[in-house]
Amino acid sequence: MNSRRLMSGMSPSLRALTASIMIPASDHRGSRSFDQSEGVDESCEPLPRHPATMNADHIPRDLVRRRSHDNTHFERARTCSSAAIRGSGLAPSAGADYPAKAVRLVVPLPAGGATDVIARAVSQRLSEMWGQQIIVENKGGANTQIGAEAVAKSAPDGYTLLATSEATLAVNPFLYRKLAYEAKDFVPVSGLGTITQALVVHPSVSANTVAEFCARQIEAR
Amino acid sequence: MRLTPVHYRGGAPALTDVIGGHTQVLFISVTLMNQPWKAGQLKALGVGGGKRVPQFPELPTIAESGLPGYQAVSWFGLFAPVGTPASIVRNMNADVQRILADPTFQEKFLTPNFFEPIVGSADAFASYVKAEQARWSKILADNKLSAE
């Protein structure tokens, strides 16, 4: 829901009422209810950010101070900003509460393979960081096309993601004449990792180096 | 150089066949060939990365073995449907990058499985993907490879 669009058509009083309803719910790990009729907190002043987040766009969840029983800086900041929101009639920015529910991660390759292994390892850590489940779904077939198509057709709301190999975006578009998706259907979020391939031969093969192997194969033609 | 391609459903069956001598040569991830190679079931001629694999310093890269610029690397990445809000993409990238940079994660997961992390922002990864698309499209065109 685009809250700005919703709000812009409203009368000022309705906007203020809506703003008070649309204040982001305190994070699910503990909410402090406060009197909605409070005025602006006169003691609001900018509070220092956690040093690890000084250059970050957002504060990772595990650095947000959990609710504690004393009136901590972060809790005061939330009160302060909520009061400011009530006053200004603005709604929270898109993504402020992401993820608010379980996230689906499609892996278009079999369970136990390299892609699946790194996707699961990273998503387990992400899930802990976010305090939300990430459900990994293996959806193999047609050299990752089946799983990729499913994600390409999903709502772009951050709740369906794709963890895949180079096959999907770097190889398939040039290998197949017709694909069920296009490379431009996806936005790259983050690289995960690389694994080097090795050239191996059966011990009976006489070459001991790449150069010897190539030479022998060329001769054998 | 003529090689006859044999298609397999995955690395494990392909590995079994080259160990058994039914096929003679294979490109396979260092993760999967590590143990059979150490056990003498296979000979490893080289690795396909830009530099030698830290765990196998004695194994040369194919690029330094007479085929400069040669690359045989698998990579893995996280993608979202186009139109996903930029703030979500940016924040998710930051979270994933934190995980990949964590020394415990590197020690317990990345290194033992022979993964090297792909570092960088979402935009940097987008450039990486574009470069890979250019590389693969050329390889497939030069060798007239297609699936149909």
* AA letter at A10: M
Q: What is the CATH number for A112?
A: 3.40.190.150
**Nearest-angstrom CA–CA distance, A221 and B20:** 24
**Nearest-angstrom CA–CA distance, B44 and B26:** 10
The verdict on residue B19 lying in a domain is no
The verdict on residue A62 lying in a domain is yes
Q: What average pLDDT does the segment A128-147 reach?
A: 96
Q: Is the same domain home to A135 and A79?
A: no
Confidence (pTM): 0.71
The count of domains in chain A is: 2
Beta carbons of B88 and A178 less than 8 angstroms apart: no
The verdict on residue B88 lying in a domain is yes
Query: Which tops the pLDDT comparison, A189 or B27?
Result: A189
Give me the residue from B43, B46, B48 closest to A205, CB to CB: B43
Q: Is the same domain home to A136 and A169?
A: yes
Residue B8: what pLDDT? 74
The verdict on residue B32 lying in a domain is no
The verdict on residue B10 lying in a domain is no
The verdict on residue A59 lying in a domain is yes
Query: Which tops the pLDDT comparison, B134 or B67?
Result: B134
Q: Which domain holds residue B98?
A: 75-148
Q: Which contiguous run of DSSP H or E holds residue B27?
A: strand B25-29
Q: pLDDT per residue over A78-126, tens digit each?
A: 444 444 444 444 433 445 689 999 999 999 998 988 999 999 999 999 9
The verdict on residue A214 lying in a domain is no
The verdict on residue B141 lying in a domain is yes
Q: pLDDT per residue over B31-58, tens digit each?
A: 889 999 999 999 999 999 989 998 999 9
The verdict on residue A40 lying in a domain is yes
- Residue A44 confidence (pLDDT) above 50: no
Q: Which of A101, A153, A181, A189 to mutate to test the interface with B (most CBs of B within 10 A)?
A: A189
The verdict on residue B124 lying in a domain is yes
**Nearest-angstrom CA–CA distance, A14 and A217:** 79
In chain B, % of residues over pLDDT 70: 96
The verdict on residue B23 lying in a domain is no
Q: At what angle do helices A73-88 and A12-21 cross, to 10 degrees?
A: 160
Residue B143: what pLDDT? 83
Helix (H, G, I), strand (E, B) or coil at B117: strand
Residue after which a domain boundary falls, among A88, A114, A145: A88
pLDDT class of B9 with cuts at 50, 70, 90: low
| Phi-psi region at B81: left, alpha or beta (left = phi > 0; alpha = psi -120 to 50) | beta
The verdict on residue A198 lying in a domain is no
Residue A149: what pLDDT? 98
The count of domains in chain B is: 1
The verdict on residue A215 lying in a domain is no
Residue A168: what pLDDT? 97
Cβ of A201 within 8 Å of Cβ of B42? The answer is yes
Q: pLDDT per residue over A164-179, tens digit each?
A: 999 999 999 999 999 9
The verdict on residue A96 lying in a domain is no
Q: Is the same domain home to A38 and A69?
A: yes
CB contacts < 8 Å between A and B, how many? 321
Q: Is the same domain home to A79 and A117?
A: no
Ranked by mean pLDDT, the top range of A75-84, A125-134, B1-10 is: A125-134
Cβ of B133 within 8 Å of Cβ of A174? The answer is yes
Q: Which domain holds residue A126?
A: 103-185
Q: Which contiguous run of DSSP H or E holds residue A7?
A: helix A3-8
Cβ of B79 within 8 Å of Cβ of A161? The answer is yes
Q: Which contiguous run of DSSP H or E holds residue B11?
A: helix B11-19
- Residue A70 confidence (pLDDT) above 60: no
Q: What's the gap in Å between the CA of A134 and the closest CA on chain B?
A: 13
Kindly indicate whether the ipTM for this predicted assembly is greater than 0.85, answering yes or no.
Answer: yes
Query: What residues are paired with A194 via a beta bridge?
Result: B75, B116
Q: Is the same domain home to A57 and A112?
A: no
**Nearest-angstrom CA–CA distance, A34 and A150:** 43
The verdict on residue A177 lying in a domain is yes
Residue after which a domain boundary falls, among A88, A117, A132: A88
The verdict on residue B54 lying in a domain is no
**Nearest-angstrom CA–CA distance, A147 and A139:** 5
Quick check: bond before B112 cis, omega within 30? no
Q: Which contiguous run of DSSP H or E holds residue B139?
A: helix B122-142
φ, ψ for residue A78 (rounded to 5)? -70, -45
**Nearest-angstrom CA–CA distance, B80 and A155:** 10
In chain A, % of residues over pLDDT 90: 48
**How is residue B130 written in tokens?**
């574009």
- Residue A13 confidence (pLDDT) above 80: no
